[in-house]
A = this chain, B = another copy of it.
Amino acid sequence: MKNVLGREIPEYINGYGSVNPFEGAFSNMGIKEKKAVKVTTVTPFDNKVLESIEEAIEKIGLKDGMTISFHHHLRNGDYVLNMVLEVIHKKGIKDLTIAASSIFPVHAPMVELIKNGTITGIYANYMSGPVAEAVSRGYLKNCAVMQTHGGRPRAIESGDLHIDAAFIAAPTADTYGNINGVTGKSACGALGYAVSDAEYADKVVAITDNLVQYPACPIEISQIYVDYVVKVDSIGNPAGIVSGTTKITKDPVGLKIAKMAAEVMKASGIVKNGLSFQTGAGGTALAVAAELKEIMKKEGVVGSFAAGGTTGYIVEMLEEGLFNSLLDVQCFDLKAVESYRENPKHQAMSASMYANPHNKGAVVNNLDVMILGATEIDLDFNVNVTTGSDGKIMGGSGGHSDTAAGSKLAIVVTNLVKARLPIIKENVTTVTTPGESIDVLVTERGIAVNPKRTDLIEKLKETNLPVMTIKELKDLAEKITGKPNNIKLSEDIVAVVEYRDGTVIDVVRKVID
């Protein structure tokens, strides 16, 4: 069958099940159920602190075929996922599904466990490095499921993704399982991606390298969700957890794109008191923030909030009074961690509050402007950030589809040509985010507005910005690069790309060497 975007998807996928096809960004709404949760009660006479990860695995009764979850706040510095899987492998437990909010190059040891059948399923919102490569080559027994930052808590809370045990990397935990990310040698800041796991998993284990006296204030994840606490020497490599600082690009093309994107915002009329804003941690995305900052200062605009994964640059905008508050699901750098710890205006949100489409209104619903990237974009503005032009998985939605759907003005900023390949395609390799959620594409050579935004097209006509159709932009790129060849992929499906509401927006097929 074909879904509403014309993507060819089977009605049933082995190792995944029946497919609910994507039918539009807000088609699957209404009354939804959060599932019942089983809790093993704890009396005043019980002790939650265990000696080792092995003891925890025994206590929770981990068995073949179960699903275990991890969060990615320690990013490419995470030791916890590998530590837990090493113990599991030694115990000979097989056929596990790993529900990790994201998977990074540091998780390379998973590849061997995929090959030997310890791991047979993967859920992730983002994956890069050797595991992504292994999935792309079809080594995983079941197809992987790529979700979004809002789709993951939706799936966990609804029961679509049942977690038997969640292992929570805890920069600080007390003896009763209260957790925070703001203190300890592995401090990473807000722990938003771990919240639904803690609330809905059958069993929850906190793994910490900073076990403190009860209570571990500030409490980000409460004792009422945690069954056991294990102390280890180190949960991660600080160098990989948070970068020292996140920096604005110095590339003149990126700076040009950023300036144009800020001019689009200004021309749209959205830059006024109460503005809400989110951007990524990449160099160009931060450059857009820098341009926006100048406009806000010049015009005396005070925004309501900035959201997202947070960087020092956005923290500076808060501290300069350009925003009243920050809503933060994860901290990308040390300045963000410090601000989150010290500044009450810098507040945590769970991934569910951030982006889950099936709660009573996520934060993304209140975003005015979202700055997004793209690996590929097609003539209908459908965006791919899941696979590279070689067809291999190299990312995933993260919050891309969520923020695009929620924000009033979703702007994709990208170079028109990357690595000698045009970004605009007749058909993208994989659809991550539907074009209906994208309002504008800004490249160094020109700006294309989604035709449904006739209001914005009118407003931009009054500026000197180089507005054209996306087809014209595509032709412009192909004059430079020539028409790219289509890549050849196997028919075998290696990953299902779930839209935030749990419908299937696309599939990823196995690469052919």
Contact = CB atoms under 8 A, between A and B. Distances in A.
A39 B327 contact: no
A222 B39 contact: no
Given A39-B34, A304-B213, A344-B217, A360 B177 contact: yes
Q: Report the copy number of this chain in the oligomer.
A: 2
A356 B43 CA distance: 11
Say what secondary structure dominates the interface of chain A. Answer: loop
Given A213-B274, A215-B305, A227 B360 contact: yes
A502 interface: no
Interface in A19-42: 26, 29-42
Contact of A359 (B31, B33, B41): B41
A361 B42 contact: yes
A358 B43 CA distance: 9
Contact of A43 (B26, B38, B219, B349): B26
Interface string A408-425: 100000000000000000
A305 B216 CA distance: 10
Interface in A179-229: 204, 213-215, 217-219, 222-227
A324 interface: yes
B38 A32 contact: yes
A305 B411 CA distance: 48
A237 interface: no
A44 interface: yes
A123 interface: no
Contact of A213 (B223, B324, B360, B407): B324
Contacts of A325: 215, 217
A339 to B, nearest CB: 13
A48 interface: yes
Contacts of A45: 26
A345 interface: yes
A35 B36 contact: yes
Nearest to A358: B41
Interface string A83-113: 0000000000000000000000000000000
A264 interface: no
A346 B43 CA distance: 25
26 contacts: A30-B41, A31-B40, A32-B38, A32-B39, A32-B41, A33-B36, A33-B38, A35-B36, A36-B36, A39-B360, A44-B405, A44-B408, A177-B360, A213-B304, A213-B324, A214-B305, A215-B305, A218-B347, A219-B347, A222-B349, A222-B353, A223-B360, A223-B363, A224-B359, A224-B361, A225-B360
| Shortest Cβ-Cβ A-B pairs, 6 listed | A42-B361, A224-B359, A44-B365, A36-B36, A29-B41, A34-B37
